[in-house]
Structure 1
């Protein structure tokens, strides 16, 4: 029996992030009847953080897909069953509880060996069972006969000969619950005609012999439909506006983003400062770097130098790279920078981060930035890439926007908005000339960064972009 219980395996929705409670099934990659192997990706799901491919942890044949595409499933819920082979048992054999203690223990051990992914486990039944009470023979009945009946499960009622309800000493044969029922209904067991095997009186026998007054009242018959018919509520006519509206459930990345922004806006006191800067020299440096052999094949654009400028500014103002621990009432100063880059994707706004970005050279930073953005747009960002950010850059300039007041990602100290670069008249060396100009906006947590520190940080970013040679002197 233990081997049979292992034939049909349930693969459960894992927690692929930290504390996620649900995920949406995006696409099934297998169908019932398909053969699968251990480690094969069978489904794509979308969590509140990213789209994730889930591998199955055993070999077999897909038996049933339990949820269609588009369903939102709680973590720990079975989503697919697989036939892993073994003895040919009837369907559902794995779900039936064994009848004896030894089978129970074997079943518990089998459940404990169920392979699972990180994030959930198999519920293991307790190995302890409530001891059976020793059978006490009824007065006048033989000890062997009474013990045997106490150990047997309640048999199904079967037709029996009339008049078999008396034991050897004239006592009616009935189990304690049946005796209590007879007492509650005022039925004399000696007068009841038994129908159970061996002349045992059943609950149905007691109810049949109960006086009419003691019989529980029946529920009132429902009124005919014609008599209790209620007027059909009037259908509210649709307005012209509602006909031209489209409603989409809030879930996945957009739901998580909304919750995070509300949490951030009402938890961290935001302050935003702005600076307009001449980035003509930075634009020229980008063109020179594109022709540099060391940067061949890499993504080189103004965003790369903005990221480098922010990293240099944080090195000069390390107190700005911190986090607020509300539970411990501590400020956590970080000696590493996980630089988040906001990326617009078909699934919504994602903010993966480059781990330890402050220690990377310009070519390394360019390579990491290119991989991060490409992966996000393809929907392959892993939950690990979304965790642990310290500061973020949002490049709103690609949409032709000059500036804005960005909202902090929860747990981060600052976010820098990089606006569009435009040709504008600018006083340069005492003369008005057309220059490449942009506006930077820095939002920061005022619990961590006061006005002086925030101003120094933003001024240093602007100084590097105006005079890129500071990348050498300040690095």
Structure 2
């Protein structure tokens, strides 16, 4: 039995079908431990670190950083018994080299031993780590004669005219070479520079493409140099830039389109004097127990929402076709703008938290989001969302409902403005709230009362807490 095991990209939750390799945390030849993080992957919901399923030595890395990989596709090969001598392969089949393993993908075939299986049957695997049950999708093959197949230890011609040996390292497996022979760092360099590897002739071992080959292709003197990729940071010769829609942005786009054309949106606005709220925050910051706590106006907005939902539970509900599901718990979503796009992680059961606990939870949520470490679980199950557009200097907006939620509140910038206070025009701290809601669940009266109560809380938080409990 082969001791080299292929590690497939696991299902990271809620039916995700693919992920993008953001960063490899190990290299070929590294010795790794069980559950050691080996790769950072971005899914449609979050960037997560994936731990190793086995201890051993990294034999090969199949996909470069920046590649999108389907769930169940092998991403790395691990020698689970390094230093134990030659790999136990069928007679006549040599052990694969790191270069050849990195250049092939293994297609499941009849009789093939898949990850999580032994010769006598299937062994238990972790959730999402087992073999795929559907056929893998593959890119269209080249039809110019450069494509070839290799099984066992037979010699084949790899794309580009160079010869290489590829075994795949799997018993009775069918191995197909559908991309040029190059190491992952070289593939990443080619992607960054916009170089088509199929157009290059490798000068490395076994005809593999080297870093120098890629760099030579983009030198000005080279007439066949490929144009800069449209995904690069600069614009191309046509003065246009193409940005792939994937990951968080792809999921956000799909959700917003589905929400906008499924739930009938209504948006109401309310401008309120929040001078007392701003003063209350100043007093809070001066308290010894709060000096190390991040205190922002958003904290009081969140508290106001929690208090208003207790008075109007229907705001915290979901349309389920034949029924409206009203939820006692409040999973409070906070929209966060990150380098990967807009994400909406939520604080579980936020209604049960004290003001200090809510402040700590919000700080942790925002910090984790900015660092790209938000887990898929933290972005699932939201029941009400706040989007703080005020941090961008915007007065308010008409936010689109997150799928499954019936209301979302936009919190605008707090500005000093002339305001009639106690019969006189005075400079006061003022903000504008925008509440979008699902009109199937929330009618104008309910939405207006909820927004009014949130505004009343922010106008005089001390009085609201005393009156509402």
TM-score normalized by structure 2? 0.71
In the alignment, the residues of structure 1 paired with residue 132 and residue 369 of structure 2 have an alpha-carbon distance, to the nearest angstrom, of 35
1:333 aligns with 2:326: yes
Choose the corresponding residue for 2:467, options 464, 468, 473.
473
> 1:80-229, aligned counterparts within 5 Å?
80-85=76-81, 88=86, 89=88, 90-91=94-95, 108=118, 112-113=122-123, 115-116=125-126, 118-122=127-131
Q: CA deviation at 1:295?
A: 1.8
Residue 414 of structure 1 corresponds to 407
In the alignment, the residues of structure 2 paired with residue 119 and residue 375 of structure 1 have an alpha-carbon distance, to the nearest angstrom, of 25
Name the SS for the 2:49 alignment partner. Answer: strand
Choose the corresponding residue for 1:348, options 341, 365, 373.
341
Unaligned runs of 5+ in 1: 125-239
Task: Note the alpha carbon deviations across 1:334-358, whole angstroms, 9 max, x for none.
Answer: 0000000001111111100000000
In the alignment, the residues of structure 2 paired with residue 70 and residue 459 of structure 1 have an alpha-carbon distance, to the nearest angstrom, of 48
Task: Note the alpha carbon deviations across 1:426-472, whole angstroms, 9 max, x for none.
Answer: 11111111111100000011111111111111000000000112123
Say which structure is richer in strand. Answer: 2
1:263 aligns with 2:279: no
8 Å Cα contact 1:112/1:122 also seen in 2: no
Residue 188 of structure 1 corresponds to none
> 1:316-465, aligned counterparts within 5 Å?
316-326=311-321, 329-465=322-458
8 Å Cα contact 1:337/1:355 also seen in 2: yes
Name the SS for the 1:300 alignment partner. Answer: coil
Name the SS for the 1:119 alignment partner. Answer: coil
Name the SS for the 2:6 alignment partner. Answer: strand
Residue 143 of structure 2 corresponds to none
Q: Structure 1 residues 461, 261: closer, same or farther in 2, change over 3 A? A: same
In the alignment, the residues of structure 1 paired with residue 236 and residue 17 of structure 2 have an alpha-carbon distance, to the nearest angstrom, of 36
In the alignment, the residues of structure 2 paired with residue 112 and residue 297 of structure 1 have an alpha-carbon distance, to the nearest angstrom, of 53
Q: CA deviation at 1:242?
A: 5.9
In the alignment, the residues of structure 2 paired with residue 373 and residue 414 of structure 1 have an alpha-carbon distance, to the nearest angstrom, of 21
Task: Note the alpha carbon deviations across 1:393-444, whole angstroms, 9 max, x for none.
Answer: 0000011000110001001111100001111111111111111110000001
Q: Structure 1 residues 107, 415: closer, same or farther in 2, change over 3 A? A: closer
In the alignment, the residues of structure 1 paired with residue 263 and residue 257 of structure 2 have an alpha-carbon distance, to the nearest angstrom, of 10
Residue 187 of structure 2 corresponds to none
In the alignment, the residues of structure 2 paired with residue 268 and residue 289 of structure 1 have an alpha-carbon distance, to the nearest angstrom, of 39
Residue 253 of structure 1 corresponds to 248
In the alignment, the residues of structure 2 paired with residue 382 and residue 437 of structure 1 have an alpha-carbon distance, to the nearest angstrom, of 35
Deviates more, 1:304-313 or 1:289-298: 289-298
8 Å Cα contact 1:111/1:122 also seen in 2: no
Q: Structure 1 residues 110, 297: closer, same or farther in 2, change over 3 A? A: farther
Q: CA deviation at 1:96?
A: 13
Q: Structure 1 residues 107, 268: closer, same or farther in 2, change over 3 A? A: closer
**Would you identify which runs of 4 or more consecutive aligned residues in structure 1 move more than 6 Å?**
none
Alpha-carbon RMSD: 2.6
Residue 303 of structure 1 corresponds to 298
Deviates more, 1:367-376 or 1:242-251: 242-251
Q: CA deviation at 1:473?
A: 2.3
8 Å Cα contact 1:309/1:471 also seen in 2: no
In the alignment, the residues of structure 2 paired with residue 381 and residue 110 of structure 1 have an alpha-carbon distance, to the nearest angstrom, of 40
8 Å Cα contact 1:351/1:386 also seen in 2: yes
In the alignment, the residues of structure 2 paired with residue 410 and residue 298 of structure 1 have an alpha-carbon distance, to the nearest angstrom, of 32
Name the SS for the 1:79 alignment partner. Answer: strand
In the alignment, the residues of structure 1 paired with residue 454 and residue 411 of structure 2 have an alpha-carbon distance, to the nearest angstrom, of 11
Task: Note the alpha carbon deviations across 1:65-113, whole angstroms, 9 max, x for none.
Answer: 0010000000111100111125622437xx999x99xx99x97556622
Q: Structure 1 residues 91, 34: closer, same or farther in 2, change over 3 A? A: same
Name the SS for the 1:69 alignment partner. Answer: coil
8 Å Cα contact 2:117/2:123 also seen in 1: no
In the alignment, the residues of structure 2 paired with residue 114 and residue 10 of structure 1 have an alpha-carbon distance, to the nearest angstrom, of 16
In the alignment, the residues of structure 2 paired with residue 343 and residue 359 of structure 1 have an alpha-carbon distance, to the nearest angstrom, of 22
Q: CA deviation at 1:121?
A: 2.0
In the alignment, the residues of structure 1 paired with residue 449 and residue 95 of structure 2 have an alpha-carbon distance, to the nearest angstrom, of 70
In the alignment, the residues of structure 2 paired with residue 110 and residue 60 of structure 1 have an alpha-carbon distance, to the nearest angstrom, of 23
8 Å Cα contact 1:114/1:122 also seen in 2: no
Q: CA deviation at 1:114?
A: 6.1
Name the SS for the 1:358 alignment partner. Answer: helix
TM-score normalized by structure 1? 0.70
Q: Structure 1 residues 107, 315: closer, same or farther in 2, change over 3 A? A: closer
Name the SS for the 2:461 alignment partner. Answer: coil
8 Å Cα contact 2:275/2:430 also seen in 1: yes
1:284 aligns with 2:293: no
Equivalent residues, number: 349
